């Protein structure tokens, strides 16, 4: 389990001063939790914003830019991975064809995401009986 964070400058919504934002995402109890904390040294305002589930796209882009993608390495399970595909389909809600494409992508080492996303997917695939590890970079 782990998380990734980024820190960047923002314009304070209260006073227009140069504030900073610390944001990140981590896997907590099987759920992705993300947060933004903005603080301003000029007026002292502090704003926190957090949530669960899908990481907001702007944060996702920052995390990938700062830390690079995390991939998965999985062994094709005996029987072809029907359980794994069930797990993937429940997660994405996609069509069977899209799910199969995702699964084949994971097996081929083409899947990547943020660390929290990779850890969550690995956790779910393991629950489906797949031997899978996360790989940084
Ligand atoms: Zn301010």
How confident is the model over 108-137, as a mean pLDDT? 92
Q: What is the pLDDT of residues 60-102, one digit of tens each?
A: 999 999 999 999 999 888 777 888 888 888 877 788 898 999 8
Query: What is the structure's pLDDT at 11?
Result: 96
Question: What is residue 2's predicted lDDT score, i.e. its pLDDT?
Answer: 63
Residue with tokens 């907001």: 56
What's the pLDDT score for residue 118? 95
25 CA → ligand 1 middle, Å? 25
> What is the 4 CA–ligand 1 centroid distance (Å)?
26
Ligand 1 geometric centre to CA of 8 (Å): 15
What is the pLDDT at residue 1? 43
What's the gap in Å between 38 CA and the centre of ligand 1? 10
CA of 20 to the centre of ligand 1 (A): 10
CATH code reported for the domain at 70-136: 3.30.1390
Phi and psi at residue 97, in whole multiples of 5°?
-65, -40
Contacts of 81 (CB under 8 A, 6+ apart): 103, 107, 130
Higher pLDDT, 124 or 39: 39
Mean local confidence (pLDDT), 101-109: 92
The pTM is what? Answer: 0.88
Quick: pLDDT tens for 25-53: 999 999 999 999 999 999 999 999 999 99
Average pLDDT (54-63) is: 97
Show the tokens assigned to 8. Answer: 């960047």
Residue 13: pLDDT band (50, 70, 90) is confident
């Amino acid at each position: 389990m782990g998380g990734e964070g980024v820190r960047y400058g923002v314009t304070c919504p209260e006073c227009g001063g140069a504030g900073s934002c610390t944001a990140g995402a981590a896997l907590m109890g099987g759920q992705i939790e993300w947060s933004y904390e903005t603080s301003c040294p000029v007026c002292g305002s502090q704003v926190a914003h957090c949530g669960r589930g899908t990481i907001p796209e702007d944060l996702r882009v920052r995390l990938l830019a700062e830390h690079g993608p995390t991939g998965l390495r999985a062994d094709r399970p005996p029987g072809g991975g029907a359980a794994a595909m069930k797990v993937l389909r429940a997660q994405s809600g996609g069509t069977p064809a899209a799910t199969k494409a995702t699964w084949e992508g994971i097996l081929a080492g083409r899947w990547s995401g943020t660390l929290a996303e990779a850890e969550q997917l690995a956790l779910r695939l393991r629950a489906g009986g797949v031997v899978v590890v996360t790989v940084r970079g």
